[in-house]
Structure 1
Amino acid sequence: MSNMTEAAPDMSVAPVKARTDRLQAGLKARYARERRFKLYGVMAIAVAVGFLLLLLGRIIEQGHTAFYAHELTIPVYMDPARIDRTYPQGTNFQLLVAEQQLARFGITDDAQGTQATAMRTLLSSELKFRAAAMIRENPALIGQTVPVTAPVSDEADLYYKGEITAETPSDQRRVSDQQMAWLDQLKSDGAVQAKFNSALFQNGDSTEPEQAGVLGAVVGSALMLLVTALIAIPIGVGAAVYLEEFSPRNRLTDLIEVNINNLAAVPSIVYGLLGVALFINWMNLPRSSPLVGGLVLALMALPTIIIATRSSLKAVPPSIREAALAMGASKTQTVFQHVLPLAMPGVMTGTIISMAHALGETAPLLLIGMVSFVPGIPGGLTEPTGALPSLVYIWENASERAFHERTAAAILVLLAFMIVMNAAAILLRRRFERRW
């Protein structure tokens, strides 16, 4: 009897222990899956950050040299026999400076035919404008030797930056070995200095890389975003408020909602075709203008603003509406004095993100003519202009090698704009966000 009594507990404990072991094994497997899931998430984030850093690193590596340029400061004899006093800009200062510099290098007059041309190609055409400005401001400089500072040509600048060397095959560079020797001599004489490339931010587009800048494109993009914001934000927010708060629920509103969602997925190039047909061919608005660009981008941004605004309105608790109505407020007062202010952080976030998305669009701008070369700075909404995305496209397809580093610099400027706009969206959302 005593043996049977002692064996009974063993028979009842065994199934319990087995179930406990199975539960523990299941828990271990579940915890292992959770750890693997977290690991996969961390790996995904690491891969995304790695690709982002690789992209930014490549752009910075290619474009950082565009933020500084080399300038040449040499004494120039303002020869009275060769300077046009009435129109100094018509004087060939580049050839004048080239001949004088060759003379300093000890090259005789008999050999200055082709060599003067070779020396002149190392000087930017900006030299003649600066020398002419000096003569206009002070005609007494004629007959004197004065120092003139001007940027070197794009190929000479690339040589000083190390992008072109003597080892570079001759068919891949436009600087000869003799010109490299002259550039080395100028640098050893202290006539060449590397300075911040202010022209990149002060000039518009140019056919000469050393004078090309992003100011015209920045102003054009700003004017387009102004038109886009003035049109898309009021219409988008108003449409979203009506659809979410006032419109009846029927087949028509369901059809409108489905089409708005579909419009948000339409390729941007389709909006460009619509802009050409509607605003340029039918309404005869000026081609390549910020007005047309802003109208096209407004059409493209409208669905995103409407969807973001409706989502923000839905996030406001129904108790806010019920409390306002219970206090005697009308439907309109409830929406505009209580619901919309509480939804405003989400509205602003969606609006700014849609504006940032519009800022980076290229395809619709190409179709409405913003791929054209526009050297000046736009002074109004109807003047031809470029934009940062189209400028990147133009410079990347240019034949001159110096434009490629400026392409990366323009991309960095564009990224800076978009980072600022997205940071503003995040800050506004955190500043006004309320948790329910």
Structure 2
Amino acid sequence: MRVQQGLERRYRQEKRFQRMGLGAIILGLVFVSFLFISIFANGYTAFQQTYVKLDVDFDPEMIAPVGETDPDLLSQANYGGLVKKTLREMFPEVTSRREKKVLYNLISSGASFQLREMVMQDPALIGTRQSVWLVADDDVDMLIKGHIDLNVPESDRRIKNNQMVWIQSLQADDRIEKHFNTTFFTAGDSREPELSGIKGAVFGSFFTLLICLLISFPVGVAAAVYLEEFAPKNRWTDIIEVNINNLAAVPSIVFGLLGLAVFINFFGLPRSVPLVGGLVLALMTLPTIIIASRAALKSVPPSIREAALGVGASPMQTVTHHVLPLAMPGMLTGTIIGMAQALGETAPLLMIGMVVFIVDIPGGPFDPSAVLPVQIYLWADSPERAFVERTSAAIMVLLAFLISMNLLAVWLRKKFERRW
């Protein structure tokens, strides 16, 4: 009887523990779902951009004489004046200087560069009148996307009443549309939200991770092979193993301080370049790669080593020809996870100066650049509402990269894993 009661009590405790574990999993999924839904709700509109169609008169007096193709002359023309002239012709009732300034704000300052590129590519446009879709200002973009509340007083919103009248007139003439925001993927950073993109940050992240991979993978694998296969078991190797395990738990900003002190202050390497960022991230990911590689080497059965040694292979041949190929899938999995961790790091890169405002797209690891997490940090600190959606959209792109890298690691483990 007492045994039966004890069994029933243990069964109840086991079911209670299972329910608690299931509740913890459900709670975690709810929070993660809430996070993802919040990011998507704020960021999906950034993949579209508002454009305004204007009938632009490419006046030769404002650009260059018809037939003139000198690139220097064409590049210095007053293309912003063309946009302003077109707006004045469309709204002739706007006469005061203040109202004209407000009217010009309907179109992005980048519209002049758009017209410039058109003329530079086709000088035959000079002297013609063309219907051109130009990028709208970020405030107009936010209004069209429904992010501006028109019920608040005019003094509390960025779109004024007279601008609303002009925008409604343009909408009535089908001159306002939303198109896919290619600028977000093809441009670098900008002070204007409607002109900003992630291409520079993506290239910076690519070069940074490339340097990190080229350094951390061979060094990490070599260290793991030596410690696991060749190093004598004594006090010094124990100290090294303990320090490697401890380094895996060190806050990432400490590696940033180390990179600032060693690579920049001591060696004099330039700030804000992917080379230094890759070196810092390589130091940070080395412990992860070494630990994962050692675990992969331990998973290879001793019989593989014994059989190779038994037929006359040297210890080095045993490792390189038999043990290492079998352990490589696990090593690659650990490396991909380490690279995914490095891709999302911000703190160490802030310490080495990769937080500066950089417009140009980097052409190599020695060019100044930002990285995707730092770009998100910079946009999140901007006051404009348009940067909020671009921040969330950049987070979505970063999460897509991270999820893809983790799925690749899982796929590699499933495909090449050998069970003994």
With normalisation by structure 2, the TM-score equals 0.94
Question: Quick one: which of 333, 345, 367 aligns to 2:329?
Answer: 345
Identity %: 52
Matched, 1:147 2:131: yes
Please report the RMSD computed on the Cα atoms of aligned residues, expressed in angstroms.
Answer: 1.7
Alignment match, 2:83 = 97
Matched, 1:270 2:254: yes
Matched, 1:296 2:275: no
Alignment match, 2:142 = 158
- Counterparts in 2 of 1:172 and 1:352: CA distance versus 1, 3 Å: farther
**1:37-56 equivalences in 2 (<5 Å):** 37-56=17-36
Aligned partners of 1:435 and 1:154: how far apart in 2?
56
- Counterparts in 2 of 1:220 and 1:322: CA distance versus 1, 3 Å: same
Aligned partners of 1:172 and 1:56: how far apart in 2?
30
Aligned partners of 1:315 and 1:141: how far apart in 2?
69
Question: Quick one: which of 414, 417, 424 aligns to 2:398?
Answer: 414
Answer yes or no: is the 8 Å Cα contact 2:56–2:130 preserved in 1. yes
Report which of the two structures shows the higher radius of gyration computed on alpha carbons: 1
Answer yes or no: is the 8 Å Cα contact 1:95–1:116 preserved in 2. no
Give, in angstroms, the shift of residue 139 of structure 1.
3.7
Counterpart residue identity of residue 27, structure 1: L
Answer yes or no: is the 8 Å Cα contact 1:272–1:365 preserved in 2. yes
- Counterparts in 2 of 1:397 and 1:355: CA distance versus 1, 3 Å: same
Give, in angstroms, the shift of residue 84 of structure 1.
4.4
**1:325-340 equivalences in 2 (<5 Å):** 325-340=309-324
Size of the aligned set, in residue pairs, is 414
**1:172-211 equivalences in 2 (<5 Å):** 172-211=156-195
Aligned partners of 1:173 and 1:348: how far apart in 2?
53
Structure 2: where are the runs of 5+ without partners? Answer: none
Answer yes or no: is the 8 Å Cα contact 1:89–1:128 preserved in 2. no
Counterpart residue identity of residue 249, structure 1: K
Aligned partners of 1:330 and 1:140: how far apart in 2?
74
Alignment match, 1:83 = 63
Give, in angstroms, the shift of residue 317 of structure 1.
2.2
Answer yes or no: is the 8 Å Cα contact 1:309–1:346 preserved in 2. yes
**1:21-420 equivalences in 2 (<5 Å):** 21-84=1-64, 87-107=73-93, 111-420=95-404
Counterpart residue identity of residue 159, structure 1: L
Counterpart residue identity of residue 370, structure 1: M
Aligned partners of 2:340 and 2:126: how far apart in 1?
53
Aligned partners of 1:302 and 1:229: how far apart in 2?
10
Answer yes or no: is the 8 Å Cα contact 2:272–2:369 preserved in 1. yes
With normalisation by structure 1, the TM-score equals 0.91
Answer yes or no: is the 8 Å Cα contact 1:89–1:129 preserved in 2. no
Aligned partners of 1:236 and 1:142: how far apart in 2?
60
Aligned partners of 2:373 and 2:410: how far apart in 1?
24
Counterpart residue identity of residue 78, structure 1: F
Aligned partners of 1:138 and 1:331: how far apart in 2?
68
Counterpart residue identity of residue 86, structure 2: Q
Q: Deviations over 1:223-255 (max 9, x none)?
A: 111100000000001001101110001111111
Q: Deviations over 1:341-377 (max 9, x none)?
A: 2222221111110110011000111111110011011
- Counterparts in 2 of 1:322 and 1:192: CA distance versus 1, 3 Å: same
Aligned partners of 2:147 and 2:52: how far apart in 1?
19
Answer yes or no: is the 8 Å Cα contact 1:166–1:177 preserved in 2. no
Answer yes or no: is the 8 Å Cα contact 2:54–2:86 preserved in 1. no
Give, in angstroms, the shift of residue 171 of structure 1.
4.7
Secondary structure at the aligned position of 2:130 is classed as: strand
